[in-house]
C-alpha cells in the first residue's frame, strides 16, 4: 500500500510562493457555437483613480502585493554596482539575476519605498505583513501602520531557492504562526491577532527548521531535525541541490533541476494550534480538519478525532493509494487494487463509498488549483483493459467523473465551481494546423461562456480576478471582463493592472529571461473603457 499526504508537503515550501497560472501557447479562435452564453460581460467594478508612481526609474522586480494593491514589495537595483556606467538587471533561465545588485523595498504608498531585508508572510486580506527589517522580525498592520517587533537578531535568507517557512498566517487571518530565535534555540509562537496574545508551542527535541499551519488552521506541522542522519556529527537543516535561483529577488523561471538534499533528514510532528499532545509517526498521513488521518497495520485509513475516537474511512480490503483528501466534504479520493494491472478510482469517507467507473495506474496523480477546498480536479484514467489513458474531470461535489463540457479541452484553472477550459480544434485556414479558444464553465449551473482566442501571453491571478492569455475574468461570477493590453506585472482584485514604465526587454547578452522591467510602476484600470463614437 502506498499512501502520501497532499495537504502539507514533506519538502520545503516557501510561504510566499507565487500562484500565477502557467503561460500556455495558443492560436486564434473560431466563432462561438450556439451553446455559448449570449449574456453581455459583467461591468468592471468601480476602481479608484489612477494611482501614483511606486519606485524609482530603475529595474523593478515585483515580489508581492496586497490583493487590492494597497502595498507592494519589489526589488530594485538603484546603483551602478558593476561599474559599467549603467544600471541594468538581466535574468537567466533559472531566474538568476545578472548585473547590478537588487535590494527589496516595501511600498506602503507611492514614492521611493522603504528598504527591508525580507518579506516572510502576508495574510489573505493583505492587512498584515511579517517582515525582516534592520535585523528584527516585525509585524506590520498596513491599515493602522502599527509596527511590533516579534523577535530580535533575525537574518534574511537571501540564498535559498526554497527557504524554510518561518512565518504563516491562518487562512481566516485570525492567527499568526512564527519562529522566534532564542539564543541557540528556535521556538514556535502562535499569535492571536484579534486578542493580541500569544503562546508558545513545543516542537519537541531537535533542531526546529520550519513550522506551518494546515489549511484548516487547526494544526501546526513542525519539521525538526532530530537525528544525525548523514553521520557528520552535527544536526544540520537540509539544503537543496538545485539550479533554481534564490527566492529573494528571483526573476522569471523557465526551467530548473533538482539534485537532492544535503544535510540531515527532518521528521514531521503535529500539534493542535491551541496546544495539546504532540503527534509523530509514520502512520500519520496528514491533519484533516479537526482530526488526523492515520494508516493502520491492516492497511486501512482511520480518521482520529481529537478525543481519541477513531472512524474507519477506508477499509483494508481496498488496498488503496490516497490520491487526494477532501476535508471540505469529508471524503478521500483513492485508487483501489483490482485483479488487473490498473486500479479502480473510488471515493471513500464516513458513509461514503462510490466507484467512479474509471481505472488509474499506480503512478496517477491528480492536479487541481484554486483555494482551500477545490471542487474540480483532473487525473489520467482509462476504461477497459486495453484503453489508452485520458484525462478525466472529477467533480468532488457531485462525486462523479464529469463529461468534458467542451470537447477536446483541458482544464487550465479552477476555483470553486468555475473552470477555465482551453479547447483545441483543427484550423479552417488554408495553412491548416491547430487553433485554440478559451471557455468559462460553471459546474454548478452548467453555464458555458466563450472567452475568446488567446491574445497575449499575460497571465496573473489575484483573489477572484484572473488574467489569462490577455483576458481578464471574474472567477466568482464566471464572467469575462475584457481584454488587457500588453503584459502588466500583475492585477488586483479591483480590476487594475500594475504597469511598468518600460516592460521586460531582450537582454543585449542574450540571456533568456531578458532585462528586468523599469520603474516606476502604477496601477490603472486593466480593461480600458470603450471610446464613445461621434
User: DSSP readout, 286-322?
Assistant: EEETTEEEEE-TTS-EEEEPTTS-EEEEE-GGG--EE
- Which triple of cell numbers denotes residue 488? 502588466
Name which residue leads in pLDDT, 9 or 461: 461
Render pLDDT for 238-262 as a digit per residue (tens, 0 to 9): 999 999 999 999 999 989 999 999 9
Domain boundaries, the chain: 320-402
**End-to-end distance of the chain based on CA atoms, in angstroms?**
71
* pLDDT above 90 for 229: yes
- 530 pLDDT band, cuts 50/70/90, is low
Strand partners, 238: none
The C-alpha cell at 509 is: 547578452
- Is the model's pLDDT at 83 over the cut of 90? yes
Burial class (CB in 10 A: 0-12, 13-18, 19+), 345: buried
pLDDT score, position 37: 35
pLDDT exceeds cutoff 50 at 278: yes
Query: Stretch 135-157: mean pLDDT, rounded?
Result: 94
pLDDT digits (tens, 9 = 90+) for 495-513: 999 999 988 876 556 677 7
CA–CA distance, 283 with 451 (Å, rounded to integer): 46
| pLDDT confidence of residue 49 | 54
Instruction: State the burial class of residue 137 (Cβ atoms within 10 Å of its Cβ: 0-12, 13-18, 19+).
Output: buried
Looking at the chain, the whole-number percentage of residues with pLDDT higher than 90 is 74
pLDDT of residue 510: 62
Q: 426: helix, coil or strand?
A: strand
Joined grid coordinates for residue 416: 470553486
Q: Is the pLDDT of residue 60 over 80?
A: yes
DSSP state letters, 62-109: EEEE-TTSS-EEEEE--S--S-SSS--EEE-TTS-EEESPPEEEEESS
Mean pLDDT across the stretch 191-198? 92
Residue with the three cell numbers 483543427: 426
Per-chain mean pLDDT for the chain: 87
CA distance 300 to 181: 40
Number of Cβ atoms within 10 Å of the Cβ of 430: 5
∠105-167-212 over CA atoms, to 5°?
Answer: 145
> Is residue 292's pLDDT more than 70?
yes
Q: Residue 250 and residue 252: Cα distance in Å, rounded?
A: 7
For cell 467507473, the residue is: 357
Torsion of CA 39, 41, 46, 52, to 10 degrees: 180
pLDDT of residue 22: 29
Confidence grade of residue 388 (pLDDT, cut at 50, 70, 90): confident
Q: Look at residue 528 in the predicted model and tell me its pLDDT.
A: 84
DSSP state of 53: -
Mean pLDDT, range 83-89, rounded to an integer? 94
**Which has the closest alpha carbon to 73: 248, 321, 297?**
248
| Helices and strands (H, E) in the chain, number of each type | 0, 42
**Is residue 119 scored above 90 in pLDDT?**
yes
- Distances in whole angstroms, Cα of residue 150 to Cα of each of 132, 167, 196, 467: 10, 11, 12, 36
441-479 residue pLDDT tens: 999 999 999 999 999 999 999 999 999 999 999 999 999
Choose among 297, 398, 301: nearest CA to 350: 301
Q: Is the pLDDT at 23 greater than 60, yes or no?
A: no
Asked if residue 534 has pLDDT above 50, the reply is no
Q: What pLDDT, on the 0 to 100 scale, is given for residue 219?
A: 96
Amino acid at each position: 500500500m502506498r499512501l502520501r499526504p497532499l495537504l502539507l508537503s514533506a519538502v520545503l515550501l516557501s510561504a510566499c510562493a507565487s500562484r500565477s497560472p502557467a503561460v500556455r501557447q495558443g492560436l486564434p479562435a473560431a466563432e462561438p457555437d450556439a451553446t455559448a452564453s449570449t449574456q453581455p460581460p459583467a461591468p468592471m467594478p468601480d476602481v479608484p483613480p489612477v494611482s501614483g508612481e511606486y519606485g524609482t526609474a530603475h529595474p523593478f522586480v515585483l515580489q508581492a502585493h496586497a490583493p487590492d494593491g494597497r502595498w507592494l514589495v519589489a526589488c530594485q537595483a538603484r546603483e551602478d554596482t558593476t561599474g559599467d556606467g549603467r544600471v541594468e538587471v538581466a535574468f537567466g533561465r533559472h531566474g538568476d539575476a545578472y548585473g547590478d545588485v537588487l535590494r527589496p523595498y516595501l511600498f506602503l504608498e507611492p514614492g521611493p519605498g522603504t528598504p527591508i531585508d525580507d518579506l516572510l508572510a502576508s495574510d489573505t486580506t493583505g492587512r498584515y505583513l511579517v517582515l525582516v527589517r534592520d535585523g528584527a522580525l516585525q509585524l506590520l498592520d498596513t491599515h493602522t501602520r502599527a509596527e511590533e517587533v516579534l523577535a530580535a537578531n533575525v537574518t534574511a535568507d537571501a540564498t535559498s531557492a526554497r527557504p524554510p517557512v518561518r512565518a504563516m498566517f491562518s487562512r481566516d487571518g485570525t492567527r499568526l504562526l512564527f519562529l522566534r530565535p532564542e539564543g541557540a534555540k528556535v521556538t514556535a509562537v502562535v499569535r492571536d491577532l484579534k486578542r493580541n496574545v500569544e503562546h508558545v508551542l513545543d516542537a519537541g527535541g531537535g533542531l526546529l527548521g520550519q513550522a506551518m499551519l494546515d489549511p484548516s488552521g487547526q494544526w501546526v506541522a513542525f519539521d525538526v531535525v532530530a537525528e544525525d542522519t548523514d553521520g557528520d556529527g552535527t544536526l544540520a537543516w537540509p539544503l537543496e541541490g538545485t539550479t533554481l535561483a534564490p527566492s529573494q529577488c528571483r526573476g522569471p523561471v523557465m526551467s530548473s533541476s533538482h539534485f537532492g538534499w544535503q544535510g540531515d533528514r527532518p521528521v514531521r510532528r503535529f500539534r493542535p494550534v491551541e496546544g495539546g499532545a504532540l503527534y509523530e509517526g509514520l502512520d500519520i498521513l496528514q491533519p484533516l480538519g479537526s482530526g488526523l488521518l492515520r494508516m493502520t497495520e491492516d492497511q486501512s485509513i482511520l480518521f482520529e478525532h481529537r478525543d481519541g475516537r477513531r472512524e474507519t474511512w477506508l477499509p483494508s480490503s481496498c488496498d488503496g493509494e490516497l490520491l487526494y483528501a477532501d476535508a471540505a466534504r469529508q471524503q478521500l479520493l483513492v485508487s483501489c487494487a483490482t485483479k488487473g494491472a490498473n486500479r479502480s478510482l473510488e471515493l471513500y469517507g464516513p458513509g461514503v463509498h462510490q466507484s467512479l467507473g474509471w481505472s488509474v495506474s499506480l503512478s496517477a496523480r491528480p492536479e487541481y488549483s484554486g483555494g482551500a477546498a477545490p471542487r474540480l480536479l483532473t487525473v489520467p484514467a482509462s476504461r477497459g483493459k486495453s484503453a489508452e489513458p485520458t484525462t478525466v474531470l472529477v467533480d468532488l461535489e457531485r462525486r462523479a467523473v464529469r463529461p468534458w463540457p467542451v470537447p477536446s479541452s483541458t482544464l487550465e484553472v479552477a476555483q470553486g465551481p468555475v473552470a477555465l477550459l482551453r479547447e483545441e480544434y483543427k484550423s479552417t485556414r488554408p495553412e491548416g494546423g491547430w487553433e485554440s479558444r478559451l471557455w468559462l464553465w460553471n459546474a454548478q449551473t452548467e453555464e458555458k461562456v466563450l472567452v475568446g482566442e488567446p491574445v497575449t501571453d499575460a497571465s496573473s491571478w489575484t483573489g477572484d480576478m484572473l488574467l489569462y492569455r490577455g483576458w481578464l475574468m471574474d472567477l466568482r461570477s464566471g464572467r469575462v471582463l475584457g481584454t488587457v493590453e500588453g503584459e502588466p506585472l500583475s492585477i488586483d482584485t479591483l480590476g487594475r493592472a500594475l504597469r511598468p514604465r518600460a516592460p521586460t526587454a531582450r537582454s543585449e547578452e542574450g540571456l533568456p529571461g531578458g532585462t528586468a522591467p523599469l520603474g516606476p510602476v502604477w496601477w490603472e484600470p486593466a480593461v480600458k473603457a470603450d471610446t464613445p463614437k461621434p
